[in-house]
Amino acid sequence: MEEKEISQAVIGRLPRYFRYLSELKYAGIERVSSQELSDIMKVTASQIRQDFNNFGGFGQQGYGYNVEFLHNEIGKILGLDRTHHLIIIGAGNLGQALANYVNFERRGFLFRGLFDNNSELHGKKIWGIEVQPMENMEVFVKENNIDIAVLTIPKTEAVTVAEQLVEYGIKGIWNFAHVDLNVPENIQVENVHLSDSLMKLSYNISRFESDNTK
């Protein structure tokens, strides 16, 4: 791989390209120009070409890109050609929603286990997977090659549980707990801070209104 210095901004845009290319692919479209992609995605064609040039450009020639090829290549860059084995910590509504989501999504992610410290939930099946006590986590992670843990537990527990998971050998954490985790650099963390997102929406509503009542 040669993509040494790719910014997180470019990486952040890759899933969106992948999403649009999936749609084009399933719509049976075979080729797409950067201008057409630009029109449907509402980013400039030069941004698209620049982003793609980070990965060698994906061989645009004549009339645009081959949709299936581009879709596959971006999928590979995103690591979606590998299978990730994933557990969810926290079997509440959010944990259940994410379990369903990952199951439904399929593409490279296998939902393997669900853990909760509420003993009333133990043994209950969520989307075919039994809720297990937290004490089982260590053995389960090690025996099942789990590489991703999803945290949907309160922030007071999340920090400790994240440290344990790292010790057990997890490689990435999809963090929904309302706290920034402090893990070693070799562990990848992707935060979904719902309240931050809701506050940003609130800010933009307020700003828009104050700009328009001056």
Closest to a second copy by CB, 4 vs 62, is 4
- For 79, residues 6+ apart whose C-beta sits below 8 A from its C-beta are 108
Separation between Cα atoms, residue 203 and residue 165, nearest integer Å = 35
Kindly state whether residue 84 participates in binding a second copy, applying the rule CB under 8 A: yes
Kindly state whether residue 80 participates in binding a second copy, applying the rule CB under 8 A: yes
In degrees and rounded to multiples of 5, residue 2 shows phi and psi of -110, -5
Q: Is 66 annotated as a binding residue?
A: no
**One of 7, 44, 59, 101 touching a second copy (CB under 8 A):** 101
Query: Binding residues for a second copy, how many (CB under 8 A)?
Result: 60
**One of 12, 62, 128, 184 touching a second copy (CB under 8 A):** 12
Region binding a second copy by CB under 8 A among candidate stretches 49-57, 103-111, 115-123, 129-137: 103-111
- Cβ 76 to a second copy shortest distance, Å: 9
**One of 61, 62, 128, 210 touching a second copy (CB under 8 A):** 210
Write out the binding residues for a second copy, residues 31-50 only, by CB under 8 A: 41-42
Region binding a second copy by CB under 8 A among candidate stretches 24-32, 74-82, 115-123, 137-145: 74-82
Kindly state whether residue 149 participates in binding a second copy, applying the rule CB under 8 A: no
Kindly state whether residue 209 participates in binding a second copy, applying the rule CB under 8 A: yes
Kindly state whether residue 186 participates in binding a second copy, applying the rule CB under 8 A: yes
